[in-house]
Structure 1
Amino acid sequence: MNTEHLSKMKIHFVILVVLCAFALNSILCRLALVQTSLDPMSFTTLRLMSGALVLAMLVVLTNRNEIKGRSENRERGENRSENNTLCLNAAFLNKGWITPLALLAYAVSFSFAYVSLPAGIGALLLFGAVQFTMIGYGLYSGERLNKKQWCGLFVAIFGVLVLFLPGASAPSLIGSALMLVSGVGWAVYTVRGKGASNPIQTTGINFLKASILSLFMSLLFISEFTWDSMGALYALLAGGVTSGLGYALWYFVLPSLKVTTAATLQLSVPVIAIFMGVLLLGEQVTLHLFLSSLTILGGVFLYILAGMAPRVR
């Protein structure tokens, strides 16, 4: 019983880390595109490439640890290493391009949207789109919610609406549309990753393929290319740390979550992004913002308590 409780605590902690990483993506992107001169497409490409590099390093380290952990002779260990390389090559060729395309759609739309959207509003639109897409898919796939779960979901949605609609100036229409596309792309990426047996390898392959596509796509925006060292640093952090490692952890916890649970948990990301914006971007928190955030978190908490907490296997 104590072991099961400890396992649940570990999963909850990983989920918290992942949600904070998602929020930091918004902050880093906003910093790069507003406070530096780096162009959005370069930010996207650097972000994806650094994520692919970090994840490739993790795959290599994981494979080495697996080999060292076996009580086998050196020759057999070398054969194991060769087999791992062959498996990686086969995985790259056989996993297809739909998931990398969804990741690319998310990343490109995300970057261009944050040229004109504040961090909190952008995160709100992003994860609102994610929430509706994933819950719709979950219900379509046969998942069912009880009355308390529906109540928690509607409370969270109401909090999002209260946070977004009143009091603030209307966001850019183009930026909002791009962020909605980004949310749908992320939802597709998340749903398709739910069955991943090796989250780090799967995420690394997706990032590598998406970065290749992004390099070719950059040719379409070559006339708008601008370089900034600090902006590039933000992009590398967003790719290697908050994206690459964050998404690998997200794939790790996904098997313990229902699709609708994952979607509702992500409603807390805009709240986290807003308060990070206060600390890192100097934004102000009003009473309206504070109460809206409490409503969202309250809905998420009610939803989880109603019976859709992570299932430890």
Structure 2
Amino acid sequence: MRLFLLTALTMLAFAANSVLNRWAVGPGHIGAVEFAAIRLMSGAVMLAALVLWQRGGIAWPGMQGRLAGVLGLSAYLLGFSLAYRGLDAGTGALVLFGMVQVTMFAGALAGREGVPPRRWAGAGLALAGLALIAAPGAVALAPLALMAVAGVGWGLYSLAGRGARDPLAATAWNFVLALPFVLPFGLAGLAAPDARGLALAVVSGAVTSGLGYALWYAVLPGLGAARAAVAQLTVPVIAALGGAVLLAEPPGLRFWLAAVLVLGGVALASLPYRALTSR
């Protein structure tokens, strides 16, 4: 029960990033790039503090995958915030999630990993769901493209971090090293945030990103790969429901059809065969 509750709390934190970003940027409480910069700074401070508190220092994780991780994280943060000027919380989370999975699939192909037919079929379903969202008249193409960039960035970040010996310390360093790439955009922003926008950005960085990532690393060993994949399938749905309740953005039929395709495809591609066939 404890593992279930902690996992549910982590998924709520991940979904909350979409809701908080949309809540802050959509109505204009803060500019998109300013939100990304404050979120990054708050997350860097929180992650560094956690590592220092737990281990007394932040060990350098090495250069392997560092540049790709930092650039991917920067692209994710900026694309994510800019996209939410024109996407609702649920649609943004679904596009992000789908693009992350497609990027991971492309990474497997580039690395010449063995790709079974089931994974090809799952990737095809996920792409069909993304195509449904991008159909003419569904959403504006510019925010959609920006969220796709964010998804590719997070996918590259995830690929770069595979096999990290200390994921929490590596994440803290990535947040710190991404500051020179993201802060100039935030400083160049023209919109001064109001109190609500500033508070939402800090909460997104320090709590739902910093503490959320730390909690995820804590529960991952107990979940295993299959249950971790299943848990993450809930994030776009939670974000959509949060957007409906808090932001009055109820998802329509197109979203739910796309969600079935994207999340079903990801489940098909990600879960081990035993997890799909067991009863």
Instruction: Mark the CA change 1:265 to 1:184 in structure 2 (over 3 Å): closer, same or farther.
Output: farther
| Matching residue's letter, 1:293 | A
In structure 2, which of residues 237, 251, 259 is the aligned counterpart of residue 271 of structure 1? 237
1:56-108, Cα deviation, whole Å (9 max, x unpaired): 22112212xxxxxxxxxxxxxxxxxxxx54xx3x6178574432222111101
Structure 1 Cα separation of the partners of residues 255 and 186 of structure 2: 37
Q: TM-score, normalised by structure 1?
A: 0.72
Pairing 1:306–2:273 present: yes
Deviation at 1:186, TM superposition (A): 0.6
2:37 maps to 45
| Matching residue's letter, 1:59 | V
| Matching residue's letter, 2:16 | L
1:188 maps to 156
Contact 1:199 1:248 in 2 (8 A): no
| Matching residue's letter, 1:193 | G
Contact 1:36 1:230 in 2 (8 A): no
In structure 2, which of residues 27, 38, 60 is the aligned counterpart of residue 91 of structure 1? 60
Equivalent residues in 2 for 1:1-313 (5 A)? 10=3, 16-63=8-55, 84-85=56-57, 88=58, 91=60, 96-162=66-132, 164-165=133-134, 169-219=137-187, 221-222=188-189, 224-250=190-216, 253=220, 257=225, 268-303=234-269, 304=271, 306-307=273-274
Structure 1 Cα separation of the partners of residues 6 and 165 of structure 2: 18
Higher deviation after alignment, 139-148 or 40-49: 139-148
Contact 1:156 1:267 in 2 (8 A): no
Structure 1 Cα separation of the partners of residues 217 and 158 of structure 2: 8
Q: CA RMSD in A?
A: 3.4
Deviation at 1:172, TM superposition (A): 2.5
Instruction: Mark the CA change 1:154 to 1:13 in structure 2 (over 3 Å): closer, same or farther.
Output: farther
Larger radius of gyration: 1
Unaligned runs of 5+ in 1: 1-5, 64-83
| Matching residue's letter, 2:13 | A
Q: Percent identity?
A: 38
Deviation at 1:115, TM superposition (A): 1.3
Deviation at 1:28, TM superposition (A): 0.5
Structure 2 Cα separation of the partners of residues 97 and 147 of structure 1: 32
Contact 1:97 1:209 in 2 (8 A): no
Higher deviation after alignment, 141-150 or 47-56: 141-150
Instruction: Mark the CA change 1:41 to 1:92 in structure 2 (over 3 Å): closer, same or farther.
Output: farther
1:264-292, Cα deviation, whole Å (9 max, x unpaired): 97565333322221122122244554454
